[in-house]
Structure 1
Amino acid sequence: MELLNDMALFVEVVNAKGFRRAAEATGIPNSTLSRRISALEKAIGLRLLHRTTRKIELTEAGQRYFERCRRIVDEARLAHEHLGDMLAQPSGVLRASLPVDFATTYLAPLIAEFAHLYPGITFDLDLTSRRVDLVSEPFDVAIRIGESEPSHLIARPLTTFTPHLYASPRYLDQAGEPDTPEALQQHRCLGMLKATAWTLHAGTRTVTVPVSGRFLLNSMGMIRRLATLDMGIVLMPDELVADELAQGTLRRLLPHWHGAPQPVYAVTETRLLPAKTQRFIEFLRERLGRE
């Protein structure tokens, strides 16, 4: 490797037509360049340059050696660039655990975009509502929403979602539209299991309202679908109801009030990540951060 570096410096000196210009181009002191070329001449047993105070000239042997060095250095540079391209295109199987509804509703287009960018990566995606064990199970990364993590895991924030209140126009025609958070107690509310109250915020104000309804579910997708079927009011991030809002099947209520912001983050067992995992996390952080 040292010989290759000296050959590269020799090519630089010849191309620059002198040690001073080569020193300016490489940032290596003039005296160091001269010493390295002298060491190269000694190592190969050939005099490569005629030195004068004004210029340098190649010897006959130096001319032949220069052509050889230039080919070797160019090949090494191309090999290095090829290696860089390989490193820029990570490959392998990316094993990820994703929340079911968030993945199918929101992440699917982003995963498809990422797959187009990195054709060398294949995907083993586990869509589940359970909290996978990143230590004992073979996952590279887990995407989680609004959950605290054990201290031995590494959580990288991706974005934050803020829940708001929604209902279908037909439900509101039938049951009326609440004009205060407290009025939610007189409505059918669709919530996750064990959620018997909703805490809402508006500026510095905070209100906790008891809620009830005919359904308790463990699927945000099912809650959203029932809301479009006129079964009640939901508290859900805008990002998960974007299509329904665009289609007019859901409408936002009490626009000044919202639930507690929910962090979204990528969780790994270690900070030392393979390229495929690092690129996936960076990609999601960039895309989600734009929303």
Structure 2
Amino acid sequence: MELLNDMALFIEVASTLNFRRAAEVSGIPNSTLSRRIAALEKHIGLRLMHRTTRKVELTEAGQLYYERCRRIVDEARIAHEQLGEMLAQPNGVLRASLPVDFATIYMAPLLAEFSRRYPGITFEFDLTPRRVDLVTEPFDIAIRMGEQSDSNLIARLLARLSVQLYASPGYLTQHGAPEHPSDLVRHECLGFPKSGRWTLHREAETTEIEVTGRFLVNSVGMFRRLATLDLGIIMLPEEVAAEDLAAGRLQRVLPEWRGHSTPVYAITETRLLPAKTQRFIEFLQEHLRS
């Protein structure tokens, strides 16, 4: 990089054949410019310029070097300008692994808005439940819910989602609404395999309940659907239940009580991100936290 900078300074002097004018354009002292050109000549091993008190002339080697280096410096300048444009308006393919139900239910409208904001980006989304390998697979980012195990990957917290209890109006009509978390032991509770215990909070009060149910399901979408079919009580982030809540298919149970908030992370292999990925993370942080 230092050699390229010195080449650019040489091009400026060679273009004007005037050290003082080149120093003004480059924004460095005349003495510094003269020293950098002398160092460049020493590095190359050839005299590039004849300097007198009255004028500056290029040597034969200097003329050849000028013609070659001018193209190199111009290409480098254009590359930097194009990268600047890319930062302002990112483009390329964004490959992302997303949680199936959270992406389908909640993120889809956000993704539509993001795509309109950055028309130069195209998208490849993987919504399978598997955990993709960001090191060996060609993914730019993975969005993950829940606490993450320690690893060499970079995890950026996007938001913490409030978790509440829900059931269908039909279920509550048939079985009654619990009035305290302890009543949950007498209800069908839908959840992931081995979920076993639910921890609930109300202000400074915390309670842990042993829950049971006939359905243990490893899909949020599935046990959410079962809940709308009057089969039990579920505990979900508000954002995931919002659609069914608005449609009246679900309603809140024990509304003063909440579960542990669910963190949402953006996972990347490195901190050095292309503009498309950086803008995607910033967009999600902005919208999820609001």
TM-score range, shorter chain: 0.7 to 0.9
What is the rounded CA distance, in whole Å, between the counterparts of 2:166 and 2:12 in structure 1?
66
SS of equivalent to 1:193: coil
The Cα of 1:137 is off from its aligned counterpart by: 2.0
Once the two structures are overlaid, the 10-residue window that deviates more, 114-123 or 212-221, is 114-123
Listed one character per residue, the Cα deviations across residues 61-89 of structure 1 (whole Å, up to 9, x for unaligned) are xxxxxxxxxxxxxxxx9997666333322
Q: Does 1:162 align with 2:169?
A: no
Match for residue 185 of structure 2? 185
Segment drifting more, 98-107 vs 116-125: 116-125
Would you say how many aligned residue pairs link Structure 1 and Structure 2? 252
Written as runs of structure 1 = structure 2, the 5 A alignment for 1:1-291 is: 1-2=8-9, 42-43=55-56, 84-290=84-290
Q: Secondary structure of the residue that 2:206 maps to in structure 1?
A: strand
> What are the Cα deviations for residues 158-182 of structure 1, in whole angstroms up to 9, with x where unaligned?
0001210111111111100100000
Cα distance change of structure 1 residues 167 and 2 upon mapping to structure 2, 3 Å threshold? same
Q: 1:86 to 1:231 in 2, by over 3 A?
A: same
Over 3 Å counting, the alpha-carbon distance change for 1:199 and 1:103 in structure 2 is same
Does 171-180 or 143-152 show the bigger shift? 143-152
Query: Normalising by structure 2, what TM-score?
Result: 0.74
TM-score normalized by the length of structure 1 = 0.73
Structure 1 residues 186 and 85: CA distance shift in structure 2, 3 A: same
Distance change >3 Å, CA 82–CA 150, structure 1 → 2: closer
What's the CA shift for 1:240? 0.6
Look up the SS of the partner of 2:185 in the other structure. Answer: helix
The answer on whether the counterparts of 2:189 and 2:234 sit within 8 Å (CA) in structure 1 is yes
Partner Cα separation in structure 2 for residue 80 and residue 138 of structure 1: 26
Structure 1: runs of 5 or more not aligned: 14-21, 33-38, 46-76
What per-residue deviation string (whole Å, max 9, x for no partner) do you get for residues 179-208 of structure 1? 000000111111112111111111222111
SS at the partner of 1:104?
helix
**Structure 1 residues 77-86 or 229-238, which shifts more?**
77-86
> Secondary structure of 1:241's match?
helix
- Residue 153 of structure 1, CA deviation: 1.0
Query: Deviation string for 1:115-163 (max 9, x for gaps)?
Result: 1222222211110222222222221111001132333111001000121
User: CA 1:118–1:210 in structure 2 vs 1: closer, same or farther (change >3 Å)?
Assistant: same
Shift of 1:43: 4.5
Q: Greater shift after overlay, 132-141 or 83-92?
A: 83-92
Contact 1:149 1:155 in 2 (8 A): no
Gaps of 5+ in 2: 1-7, 33-51, 59-76
What is the DSSP-based 3-state SS (H/G/I as helix, E as strand, rest coil) of the residue aligned with 2:164?
strand
